[in-house]
Amino acid sequence: MLILPLKTQVIPSGSIPRSPNKLPFHHNVSLTVSLTVGTPPQNVSMVIDTGSELTWLNCNTTRNNYPTSFDPTRSSSYRPVPCSSATCMDKTRDFPIPASCDTNKLCHATLSYADSSSSEGNLASDTYIIGSSEISDLIFGCMDSTFSSNSEEDAKNTGLMGMNRGSLSFISQMGFPKFSYCISGSDFSGLLLLGDANIPWLVPLNYTPLIQISTPLPYFDRVAYTVQLEGIKVSDKLLAIPKSVFVPDHTGAGQTMVDSGTQFSFLLGPVYTALKTEFLNQTTSVLRVLEDQNFVFQGAMDLCYRVPLSQSTLPQLPTVSIVFRGAEMTVSGDRLLYRVPGQVKGNDSVYCFTFGNSDLLGVEAYVIGHHHQQNVWMEFDLERSRIGLAQKKIRRRRRRRTEEEIEEDEEEEEEEEIEEEEEEEIKEEEIEEEKEEDEEIEEEEDEIKEEEIEEEKEEEEEEEERV
C-alpha cells in the first residue's frame, strides 16, 4: 500500500477556454502528484486523470516554457518502443487515435483531449519510483510536441498519469488491485492511496458496480470508469425522470463516467433541465438569478446567480444527491455554487451552478467531475469491478511542534499555574479578612444589643420605683 499527498492546482480564469463545444477536461483545477522517473531519477509532477489511459511526460527540453520537462537522454534506463512490438500493435487499440509508425520505426502516439489540447510523441519505457515502490519498464508516452490553450499553467506539470481501466494505464501496469483518493473541500490538498485502504478511521463504503460493454460502440468509452446513474434528488425530492434516460443507447451515448480530469459535472439535456428547474424552485427566496442570456460559464453552465460582494457566506442551499446503483454522492454547500473569478456585476459577484449541460458541449455522456468528489473517499476497485463511496472530510495534519515550542508551552503552563496559585492565596486572604471583619461587626452589634437591653432594664426598674 502506498499513500501519497495529492495537490489541487488552481488555474486562473484568464486562461479558461470558452469554446462552446469543448469540455474542459484539463482546465481550472487539476489534481497533481509528485514522483521520480529514470536512472538517475528525475523529479516530475503529474496530473491524475481517471479519464485517460496513456501516462505521458513532456520530453521537449528545448522549450523554455516547460522547465519541468523529462530528459530521456539523461536516463540510462530509457527505452523507446518499436512499432513492430506487441505493445504498439496490440495494447494501443483503445487509444482514441490509433498508434502509428514514425520514420525511425518507433511507436508513435497522438493524444487529443476535449479541451482542444493535444500531445504527440513516441511510446517508451523507463523506471518509475512512486513512494517506496519501484517499477521497471513502465510504458509511457515521451511527448515532444504538445499544444495547450493553457500553456503557461500546464508548464507547471511534467505530464499526465493515466488511471483508467486500459491495459497501458499507470494503475494497470503497476498491478495494484485498487486505488483510492480523497480531495479536501477546505484547502488545496488531498490523499492518493495505491493498494488496499486498510485505514482504521475510514467509514464503510457504499459500492456501485462498474458497467462494461464488450461490443465496441461509437460513443462508449470501454476503458472509462462507467457506472449506472439512476436518479437525481434535490433535498429529499427525487426528480421525476425516467430511468431509461440514464441507460446508454445502441450507440453507447449516455454512459456515466467518473472522471478526476474534469472539474465539474455534466448531465445530458433532459436531466440537466429537470435539475436546473427544481434547484431554481428551491432557491428562489434565497438567491438572485443573473439575468444575462449571453453569459454561459465554460459554455455549459447557464444557471448563475448574483451574490453581494459584501456577503461573506452563501445562504443555506438544498443538497443535490447523485443516485447511483447501490450508492449516492451528496453535494452540498459551496460545492453547489462556484464563484467565477474576475466576474463582477455592479456590486455583486457571480456564482454559477456547478452542474453543466452536456448537450451544449456536444458530449454524449454524463460526467462526474472531481469538484463534486470533494470530501468523498473514492475507491476504484479494479479487482471486483466497482467504485466505493463514503463521505469523509480530509483535514491537513497539524505541523509537529519543535522542542523549543514544547519547552515554551511548558514554561507558559508553569507560569499560569503559579499565577493561579497566587490568585488562590489572595482570594483566601481576602475571604479570611472578610470573615474577621464580619465577626468584629457581629461582636459590636452584640455589645450594642446588650447595652440597649441593659438600658431598657434600668428604665423599667426606675419606673417601678416611682410607682
- Dump pLDDT digits (tens) for 239-267: 999 999 999 999 999 999 999 988 899 99
State how far the Cα of 376 lies from the Cα of 395, in Å rounded to an integer.
Answer: 12
Contacts of 408 (CB under 8 A, 6+ apart): none
With H, G, I as helix, E, B as strand and everything else as coil, classify residue 15: helix
pLDDT at 416: 64
Annotated active-site residue 334? The verdict is no
Whether 338 and 371 have beta carbons less than 8 Å apart is answered as yes
Q: Is the confidence at residue 17, as pLDDT, over 50?
A: no
φ, ψ (nearest 5 deg) of residue 28:
75, -65
Beta strands (DSSP E) in 332-426 are 337-345, 348-353, 355-357, 365-368, 376-381, 386-391
Annotated active-site residue 49? The verdict is yes
pLDDT average, residue stretch 139-167: 76
Whether 132 and 69 have beta carbons less than 8 Å apart is answered as no
CB burial of 413-423 (b: ≥16 within 10 Å; e: otherwise) equals eeeeeeeeeee
- By CB atoms closer than 10 A (0-12, 13-18, 19+), residue 385 is middle
Percent above pLDDT 70 for the chain: 81
Report the range of poorest mean pLDDT among 28-42, 63-77, 224-238, 385-399: 385-399
Q: Is the confidence at residue 295, as pLDDT, over 80?
A: yes
Q: Is the confidence at residue 145, as pLDDT, over 50?
A: yes
Report the range of poorest mean pLDDT among 7-16, 65-74, 195-204, 418-427: 7-16
Q: Which of 221, 259, 302, 381 is catalytic?
A: 259
Element (H, E) at 403: helix 403-466
Mean pLDDT of the chain: 83
- Prediction pTM value: 0.77
With H, G, I as helix, E, B as strand and everything else as coil, classify residue 23: coil
Report the range of poorest mean pLDDT among 274-283, 336-345, 377-386, 439-448: 439-448
Contacts of 368 (CB under 8 A, 6+ apart): 256, 257, 258, 259, 262, 265, 322, 329
Q: Which of 49, 94, 126, 221 is catalytic?
A: 49
Q: Is the confidence at residue 23, as pLDDT, over 50?
A: no
CA dihedral 460, 461, 463, 467 (to 10 degrees): 140
Whether 352 and 297 have beta carbons less than 8 Å apart is answered as yes
Report the range of poorest mean pLDDT among 16-25, 193-202, 269-278, 339-348: 16-25
C-alpha cell of residue 427: 482570594
